[in-house]
Amino acid sequence: MDWASVSNDVLTWLVQILKTPSPTGHTDEVIRLLEQEAAALGYAPERTRKGALLVRIPGADESRRRFLTAHVDTLGGMVKEILANGRLRVHRIGGYAWNTVEGEYCSILTGDGRTVTGTILLHNTSVHVNREVGNTKRTDDNMEIVLDARVKNADEVRALGIEVGDFVAWDPRVEQTETGYIKSRHLDDKASVAVLFGVLKALRLSQTVLPHAVDVLVSTNEEIGFGGNSNISDDVIEYLAVDMGAVGDGLKTDEHVVSICPMDGSGPYHEGLRRHLTALARAHQIPYALDIYPYYSSDASAAVRAGADVKHALIGPGVANSHAYERTHIDALRATFDLIAAYLQSDALDG
């Protein structure tokens, strides 16, 4: 399984899915896209009742399986109120602060399939009118979407097809730099989804027979806490969540490594599986960092909370500025790919 053979595909898939809106609760379009890609690679993807995508990979041992997840749902919003002045109030989907999206372009995804664009702004945001702009706390009650339409009241907004309950997607603003960085919203966790599809293609190209069967789940509800807690068969022994590694003060992870997480806000991950992954990274000279994330949980956490009797672990590419305008590097994508490839080909599964 060779990164060089799939690296261009990984970047192509990443840009494609980053540009496909998928706030939690509105993921059919991106799942349909990934379903087509998986089928084109020769797999037989299955849709779950919750709208996720499951790909089953055979192995020499079909009785004991591994389970990998990455989530394609993202932060976003939902129209909460149509104001009398023709602006919108929004309820946030996922955990982020208003200041991380202030001034961002967005799309309102209407129930009849239309898209209406706009910008999220503080109420009375002009400094020429409001001298307290810099001191005003951004809250649910004073952040508003200004539509790119000539509307002056709620009836004119509704005439555009907009209604309470419509989803709001933030503009990802995808950019690839000549130095190998990828800047975009929603690299959490579309970067990992693209890497997993790179693994799926590499398996086909190399015709590798894995020691154990593997289920790959692209989950769709991770940002609200229950993305990967179902569709886990009884013969799954190990569960590996592939999600972003956070970058910040007191942490070793950066945008050029794969993060291996011993513990997050949900508690410790399985020690044996985590140490196995760390040993593989060392043996294969894969750049990695061990970090604890106190304000984090994963699909693997959700699975264990739901009662799955599995060994669980968390890895992912280093991503800076999480839940804001994020950035990673192709080095981190490669390191994550290499660690997954080494893990899937290892025969250390027991239990």
pLDDT digits (tens, 9 = 90+) for 190-222: 999 999 999 999 999 999 999 999 999 999 999
Q: Average pLDDT for residues 127-140, to the nearest whole number? A: 94
* pLDDT for 299 beyond 60: yes
Same domain, 57 and 194: yes
d(CA 217, CA 71): 8
Kindly report, residue by residue over 301-329, the tens digit of the pLDDT: 999 999 999 999 999 999 999 999 999 99
> Which of 139, 170, 201 is the C-terminal boundary of a domain?
170
Q: Is 156 a catalytic residue?
A: no
Q: Is residue 201 a contact partner of residue 6, using CB atoms and an 8 Å limit? A: yes
Rg (CA), the chain: 21
Shared-domain flag, residues 257 and 300: yes
For residue 252, is it within any domain? yes
pLDDT score recorded for residue 350: 60
Mean pLDDT along residues 141-170: 98
For the question of whether the overall pTM of this predicted structure is more than 0.75, the answer is yes
In-domain check, residue 180: no
My answer on whether 191 and 120 are in the same domain is no
Say yes or no: 50 and 122 in one domain: no
The CATH number assigned to the domain holding 135 equals: 2.40.30.40
Looking at the structure, tell me whether residues 193 and 236 fall in a common domain: yes
Q: Which residues pair with 318 in a beta bridge?
A: 245
Greatest pairwise CA separation for the chain in angstroms: 70
Strands 46-47 and 53-57: antiparallel
Q: Give me the pLDDT at residue 348, please.
A: 76
Q: What is the pLDDT of residue 351?
A: 46
Q: Give yes or no for a contact between 276 and 339, defined as CB atoms under 8 angstroms apart.
A: no
* Domain termination site, one of 170, 200, 217: 170
Rounded Cα distance, 255 and 180, in Å: 10
- The share of the chain scoring above pLDDT 90, in percent, equals 98
In angstroms, the Cα distances linking 318 to 201, 242, 254, 298 are 22, 11, 5, 15
Mean pLDDT of the chain: 97
C-alpha to C-alpha distances, 160 to 20, 89, 95, 151, 166, nearest whole angstrom: 22, 16, 29, 9, 12
Q: How confident is the model at residue 104 (pLDDT cuts 50, 70, 90)?
A: very high
Q: Please check whether residues 215 and 334 belong to one and the same domain.
A: yes
Are residues 197 and 316 located together in one domain of the fold? yes
Q: What three-state secondary structure class fits 223?
A: helix
Does residue 136 sit in the same domain as residue 41?
no
Task: Give percent helix, percent strand, percent coil of the chain, each to the nearest 5.
Answer: 30, 30, 40
Range of the structural domain that residue 61 is part of: 3-74+186-345
Q: Any idea what the CATH number is for the domain that residue 307 is in?
A: 3.40.630.10
In a domain, 176, yes or no: no
| 25-39 tens-digit pLDDT | 999 999 999 999 999
Domain end marker among 136, 170, 204: 170
Whether 341 and 217 map to the same domain: the answer is yes
Residue 179 counted as domain residue: no
Q: Are residues 275 and 315 in the same domain?
A: yes
pLDDT tens per residue across span 62-74: 999 999 999 999 9
138 and 283 assigned to the same domain: no
Give the number of domains in the chain. 2
- Whether 255 maps to a domain, the answer reads yes
Residue that the structure tokens 């995508």 belong to: 53
Q: How far apart are CA 110 and CA 112, in angstroms?
A: 5
Instruction: Give kind and range of the element (H or E) at residue 272.
Output: helix 271-283
Which is catalytic among the residues 37, 144, 222, 326? 222
Is there a single domain that holds both residue 44 and residue 193? yes
What is the percentage of the chain residues whose pLDDT exceeds 70? Answer: 99
201 in helix, strand or coil? helix
Residue 175 belongs to a domain: no
